[in-house]
Structure 1
Amino acid sequence: MSDKLPARCKLVTEPLGIIETLRVARRNLVEIIPDIATKQPIVSGKTAVVRWHMVMEPDALRHILKDAVDVYPKSDVTKNILEPAIGNSLFIAEGSHWRWQRRAATPVFKHRNIANLAPIMGAAADRSTKRLAASKGRAVDVFAEMVQATFEVISDVTFSDGDSVDAGAVHRAIDAYIAQTAKVSLLDIIGVPTWVPRLNRIGSSSAMKDMRRIADASIEERRNAGPRDIPDLLDLLLEGEDPETKRQMNTDELRDNLLTFIVAGHETTALTLAWALYLCAFDEDVQQKARAEASEVLNGRTATADDIKALPYIRQIIDEALRLYPPAAFISRTAQQTDTLCGREVRKGDTVMLPIYALHRHKDLWENPDAFDPDRFADQKAVNRFSYLPFGDGPRVCIGASFALQEAVIILATLLSRFKFTAVKGRDPRPELILTLRPSGGVWLQVEELSS
């Protein structure tokens, strides 16, 4: 393990006023987290009209995410940012509407279905291999490369016929929408009700409306065509049924969930892979150990689902990358009734924040928390379940977590067995939270193809 520390965010050490909070939040939302949040179980405060609490204590997080999930739904700010893009999908829906969708969609992500998608993931790794080999010694932005690779995967497993929808156009429209609307507004900071329009979110949904219409037409076309021999994600969702109510998703519900899976299903994995490659370049000893494992298991071929159990160190690197750079680094909830967290009163309407970035670097929960150390995940049972939340937990744990982890292991193992990655001096990425924790400026690495 390197004595140096990899890239990290500078957390605030003094209270910020409203204007300064807005300035910092618009620059990098994660930087509004106070440094004390990495040392205390709970931190509370108040803006002009809203009380807020940041919670980092595992038992309290268990309460929020599992035991009292209906008391702490997603915040109105989160819903207002995302609903125009992904509607009332699994990610946003609450209560009974969420429950039946979850029951209908859960079988889609069974182990057998995910394992059947591994060849698509391997094919994307092979295409990435060809692109990286063509760089011929030039520095490569591996974040951009991983975005392309993982988008190829989600496109192929979502619209495998290739002509029902321009999935790339759908992604570009959603990405542009989020880039415009995800910035925090002063009205969000001071607690103005979300029904008051935010200027940066007015008129930003025209492209999304067009893409929603295209997706609707594609879904209807597939529905009328009937089932195929090898089902893709859309086929499985069309067939999905809530076992309790026998309800199936209509076109609106299918479209909203497909758009959610297209974006969340590739960007979060791309981020995980890009940060993992950065960390491997950061610590050459880790990279060599991972390459030795991958090379021994794969012997020159592309990784498959059957190889995953034989690649534990690759998985540890991915787990550690998710700890240091969780894609969902900052989660917000709104209390629906009076409650108590860490001995502190929480009132109805209070904002309850889950700063996952701070949780994963908490000094009472992790030894040397800012260091890159994959060995801390050598024994998964030794990790407190609610101190490590890259995919959330409880009934709303990310439905695609096993899909993302399988994809990440297959691609990372394949690439590490074929290339050496070296950091580019002066080009360290800066973690920046704009809905997800992205590497500002990309992840630039020198890529050297290894002799076979």
Structure 2
Amino acid sequence: MGHHPPWTINDRRLPVRVPLTHEKLGVLRSFNMMRENVLNIIPEIATRQAVVSGRTARRWHMIMHPPSIRQMLLDRVEDYPKSVVTKNLLRPAVGDSLFIAEGQHWRWQRRLAAPAFSHRNVRNLAPVMTAAAERSAERIADAGRRAVNLLDEMIAATFDVISEVTFSDDGSFDRGDIHRAIEDYVADAGRVSLLDVLGAPDWLPRPARVFSAQSMAEMRRSADAAIDARAARGPGPVPDFLDLLLAGEDPKSKRKLTTSELRDNLLTFIVAGHETTALSLAWSFYLCAFDPEVQERARAEAHSVLQGRAATGDDIDQLPFIRQIIDEALRLYPPAGVVSRTAQKADNLHGADIRPGDTVMIPIYALGRHKQLWEDPDTFNPDRFADRKAIDRYAYLPFGDGPRICIGASFALQEAVIILATLLSRFRFTPVAGRDPKPVMILTLRPEGGVWLMAEPV
């Protein structure tokens, strides 16, 4: 299946999208299409109906009804843990960390990690983001008059940030090794195994995951050594995530994280924290190049606030339109395009009969393009976020919601605003003919082929 190039509606061009299927798919066809792009399994009808149910080896339901989504993510969160498929995909990379732990084990880790992501601490880390934005601007300027792949550039910039705020870049951790291990893992292991789709038991090995296990094991060993070295040496002048987690204890049980729990959570922050922000930024640059009027408006805002310098944490509140571009990019291209849960109890979600063991999905990609929830959902229009109160909280879920809402949401948004504002204030980005990205979700929704843009200094 291809992707739709920019097409038109009411004489307006639309940004790239995934052509959702109009046909029913059997197990093998579903599997092959999922391996190519997880979003291929979302039927087009999911952008028009509140609930879609079916069976592919096991019963499944897609929920696009905001009150029912609230029930899953907030009111009955214990009855809808992350699906077995999700856990199998992610455990080799992030162990039993915050991201996939459940119940008490999840709750105490969340309590312990929360202070690291407090508003005050996130704001204290803004200078790291400003410095990364400066370095990114220098690299783009050094490239001269040729196309730049903004996806690669944003992955480099956000990895800069996450390695600095996680390990203070103290040399105990090889950035290149970590980066390669994550890329290998996403490329191989992230592809859903047919064994997962068919609900085969966990002990049956998944071939692709066996191949990437070696680089993951090396990454974990390297992280363990860095943690032990820091514990022996003590914290630096500005505490990073590692310092905060080493010092942290659960306020209720007084329990501290072991080295392996610490490592799994740090790797979660690295894997989840840099790639998702990089993707949001890459899509934001694509959309700004796609719509020059929006880009000019954003540049005018950045110029008036920044006056030639890089953006800082103190500028965030004065850059509302830049934030709206990021919000709209997250609506059109959410990094987690599908969220999957396994029902534990019988339930009824807007008429759907949910039985224990059913897979219940929230297709975030379809939710953001739902005809009943958004006006002209396939158009790029950052102004729809000018009044946040007008948007149904459970119609827009780039970071999830409820107790399991992404712990790093404010960190990611602050970083994205700082980098986008800084680069838009210094460069005009224009598309490269014939190089439109293709939205493909394996573990995350990536612009396949990269985001190639010309960057002209302004």
TM-score, normalization: structure 1? 0.97
CA distance 1:2–1:405, change in 2 (3 Å): farther
Identify the residue that residue 249 of structure 1 maps to in structure 2. 257
Residue 426 of structure 1 pairs with residue 434 of structure 2? yes
Q: Distance in 2 between matches of 1:326 and 1:215?
A: 29
Structure 2 counterpart SS, 1:438: strand
- What does residue 206 of structure 2 align with? 198
Q: Distance in 1 between matches of 2:202 and 2:14?
A: 40
- The letter for the 1-side match of 2:274 is H
1:238-266: CA deviation from partner (whole Å, max 9, x where unpaired): 11111111111110110001111111111
2:304 matched residue in structure 1: 296
Task: Give, in angstroms, the shift of residue 186 of structure 1.
Answer: 2.1
Residue in structure 2 matching 1:350, options 347, 358, 361: 358
Q: 1:400-439, aligned counterparts within 5 Å?
A: 400-439=408-447
List per-residue Cα deviations over 1:95-149 (Å, max 9, x = no partner). 0000000000001101111111111101111111111112222011111001001
Name 1:88's counterpart in structure 2: 96
Question: Partners in 2 of 1:210 and 1:433 — Cα distance?
Answer: 26
Which digits, 9 at most, give the CA deviation of each residue in 1:338-363, with x for residues without a partner? Answer: 11111221000000111000000000
Does residue 208 in structure 1 map to residue 205 in structure 2? no
State the 1:269 CA deviation. 0.6
Runs of 4+ in 1 over 4 A off after TM superposition: none
Alignment of 1:135-284 (within 5 A): 135-284=143-292
- Whichever residue aligns with residue 273 of structure 2, its letter is G
Q: Secondary structure at the match of 1:44?
A: strand
- Give the aligned partner of residue 39 of structure 1: 48
Question: Per-residue deviation at 1:23?
Answer: 1.4
Residue pair 2:163, 2:169 contacting (<8 A) in 1 also: no
Number of corresponding residues = 449
Shift of 1:203: 4.0
Which of the residues 383, 391, 402 maps onto 1:375? 383
Greater alpha carbon shift after TM alignment, 51-60 vs 169-178: 169-178
Equivalent position SS for 1:177 = helix
CA distance in 2, matches of 1:365, 1:436: 23
Following the alignment from structure 1 to structure 2, what is the Cα–Cα distance between the partners of residues 439 and 120?
26
How far apart are the structure 1 equivalents of 2:11 and 2:290?
8
> 1:281·1:445 contact (CA, 8 Å) conserved in 2?
yes
Q: Name whichever of 182-191 and 89-98 sits farther off.
A: 182-191
Residues 53, 352 of structure 2: 8 Å contact kept: no
Q: Cα deviations across residues 31-80 of structure 1 (Å, max 9, x unaligned)?
A: 110000000111000123x1000111100100111111111111111111
| Residue type of the alignment partner of 2:20 | L
Distance in 2 between the 1:112 and 1:187 partners? Answer: 45
Q: Distance in 2 between matches of 1:276 and 1:363?
A: 22
> Which 5+ residue runs of structure 2 have no aligned equivalent?
1-9
Structure 2 letter corresponding to 1:31: N
Contact 1:2–1:283, Cα closer than 8 Å, also in 2: no
Q: Does 1:26 align with 2:35?
A: yes
> Which secondary structure state, in structure 1, belongs to the residue aligned with residue 299 of structure 2?
helix
Distance 2:11 2:157 in 1: 29
Q: Name stretches of at least 5 consecutive residues in structure 1 with no aligned partner.
A: none
Residue number among 119, 141, 148 corresponding to 1:133 in the alignment: 141
Q: Out of 97, 114, 126, which is 2:122 matched to? A: 114
Partner SS state of residue 197, structure 1 = coil
Determine which of 321, 333, 340 is the counterpart of 1:332: 340
**Cα RMSD between the aligned structures?**
1.2
Structure 1 CA distance for aligned equivalents of residues 410 and 287 of structure 2: 22
**TM-score w.r.t. structure 2 length?**
0.96
Contact 1:77–1:194 under 8 Å retained in 2: no
Q: Note if contact 1:171-1:262 (Cα within 8 Å) is conserved in structure 2.
A: no
Q: CA deviation at 1:2?
A: 8.4
Task: Give me the whole-angstrom Cα distance separating, in 2, the residues matched to 1:234 and 1:262.
Answer: 12
Q: Percent identity?
A: 64
Which residue in 1 is equivalent to 2:7?
Answer: none
1:443 maps to 451
With 121-130 and 186-195 compared, the bigger mean Cα shift is at: 186-195
Measured in 2, the distance between the counterparts of 1:161 and 1:430 equals 33
Contact 1:391–1:401 (CA under 8 A) maintained in structure 2? yes
User: What CA distance in whole angstroms lies between the structure 2 residues aligned with 1:177 and 1:227?
Assistant: 31
